[in-house]
Structure 1
Amino acid sequence: MANLLLSSRAFCNQAITDAFLALVKPNATIVIIVNSVTEGKRHPQMQALQRTIQQLGFEHVTLLDVLTDDLATLETADAIVLNGGYEFLLLSNLRKMNLLTRFRQLALAGKPFYGISAGAILLGPDLDLYTQLYPEDNMEQLTHAPAINATPIRIYPHYDAHCQLNPNLPSLITDWERQTGSHVTRLTNDQGLRIRGTEVQLIQPASK
């Protein structure tokens, strides 16, 4: 049974933080996948996320590069975090190491996964919406981009912020939904989803 947390931003409010603490057991060993950015472990965002999780009381938090590090760490970790960055880069790197199926198996077996932005997108079925919206990021020119598929839920993170940048975004996503018969869950910068099997809970600040 999948045990997932998806959000636009990491620990952006107390509701998201509380959902993470409910997702992961105390004293858990946590692995952060860094392959959504070219800088990997050197990226300040990756290092900041590691520090944030440590400040929540978790002593064993490792940054892991799937291209160079020992992948056995994934099997022994109590939880896996897929950080934000570039969804197509993350997809490409996971595909190179044949990790899409393995991550799906681990997630469906109940290992907790926290996906942030690009990482949250990858936990869904595919990146097909993004091949249409952002072809410039689709480095491999994929027409169908299967992802981890730990959940059938497709998300669009940062929806509120991106709509301000592109007023056409709502109609573009709606058109894609009509063309494909699919549904996209729009998440604002402050929102997340807690997924336990077939149970889905919207996470957002209490004042919303």
Structure 2
Amino acid sequence: MSTLLLSSRAFKTPAITQAFINMLPDHHQYSEISIIVNSVKEGRLHPKMIALQTQLHALGFRNVTLFDVFQDNLDILKQSDALILNGGYEFYLLHALKSSNADQVINDLAQNNRPIYGISAGAIVLGPDLQLYQYLYPEDNLLQDKDLNGLKLTTTRIYPHFDQHAITNPGLIDQINHWENTHHQSVIRLNNDEGLLIQDENVKRL
């Protein structure tokens, strides 16, 4: 049994925030939360990572670790009550998880019902693969990875920030529609204020 929360922005709405809290034990303020920071090259020094840690502290969580899969002991992840994969660059994050074997740890934790919250790029890599993003943004695959399989914790495919990106790139709607028709796959378009709660492939839009 796996419990996943996916969103475009971290704790953007009360519904998303409450869904995360509900995934944890009653005394959630004592929960050990690990934020995986490897979606950006700066890692734990990136302002986005520090801001998310601060946000969690403001929500009452006392034990929040910024976790680097290349520098920190993976046993810390195993002891976490919940994992958060923050936003950034999905290709870079997936490469880091696989090359450090953190992907195996995350899969094991998910199978043991450890809550996992993926934000933007972090939500994307929890899905089946990055093929949609290779089609849309091949230039972002800087390391030219051939293995684009995601962590496969869900079969749900998402495109985060859809409302924002559709404005800046009017052709995006047609591009995603074309990819869906060509690959016979569906993509859930998530706006900046939306999330998904997934429990054993039962998907609830927040």
Unaligned 5+ residue runs, structure 1?
Answer: 204-208
- What is the deviation of 1:61? 0.5
Contact 1:8 1:189 in 2 (8 A): yes
Q: Tell me, yes or no, if structure 1 residue 189 matches structure 2 residue 185.
A: no
Equivalent position SS for 1:89: helix
Give 1:140 shift.
2.9
Q: Which residue of 2 aligns with 1:206?
A: none
**Retained in 1: the 8 A contact 2:74–2:102?**
no
Aligned counterparts of 2:122 and 2:18: Cα–Cα separation in 1: 19
1:122 maps to 2:125:
yes
* Aligned-partner Cα distance in 1 for 2:129–2:6: 15
Aligned: 1:60 with 2:68: no
Query: What is the total number of aligned residue pairs between the two structures?
Result: 203
Paired residues of 1:31 and 1:63 also in contact (CA < 8 A): yes
**Which residue of the partner structure matches residue 23 of structure 1?**
23
Contact map agreement 1:127 1:144 (CA 8 A) in 2: no
Matched AA of 2:8: S
Q: Give the aligned partner of residue 43 of structure 2.
A: 40
Q: Secondary structure at the match of 1:5?
A: strand
What is the rounded CA distance, in whole Å, between the counterparts of 1:144 and 1:175 in structure 2?
Answer: 23
What residue in structure 1 maps to residue 160 of structure 2?
157
Using the size of structure 1 for normalisation, the TM-score is: 0.94
Q: Which residue of 1 aligns with 2:139?
A: 136
CA distance in 1, matches of 2:21, 2:92: 28
1:113-145 per-position Cα deviation (integer Å, ceiling 9, x unaligned) = 000000000110111100010011012334550
Residue of structure 2 equivalent to 1:89: 92
* Contact 1:36 1:89 (8 Å CA) reproduced: yes
2: CA distance, partners of 1:49 / 1:142: 28
What is the RMSD of the two structures over their aligned residues, measured on CA atoms?
Answer: 1.1
Letter in 2 for 1:81: I
CA distance, structure 2, for counterparts of residue 52 and residue 117 of structure 1: 17
Q: Secondary structure at the match of 2:61?
A: coil
Instruction: Tell me the equivalent position of 1:6.
Output: 6
**Which of 181, 197, 202 is the equivalent residue of 2:205?**
202
Secondary structure, counterpart of 2:203 in structure 1 = strand
**1:12 Cα shift?**
1.1
Instruction: Indicate the residue corresponding to 1:145 in structure 2.
Output: 148
Output the amino acid matched with 2:22.
A
Q: How does 1:160-175 map to 2 (within 5 A)?
A: 160-175=163-178
Letter of the structure 2 residue corresponding to residue 2 of structure 1: S
Aligned partner of 1:162: which letter? H
Asked if structure 2 preserves the Cα contact closer than 8 Å seen for 1:131 and 1:142, the reply is no
What's the offset of the Cα at 1:178? 1.0
Q: Which residue of 1 aligns with 2:79?
A: 76
Secondary structure at the counterpart of residue 6 of structure 2: strand
Q: Provide the secondary structure at the position in 1 that maps to 2:164.
A: helix
Tell me which amino acid in the other structure corresponds to 1:195: I
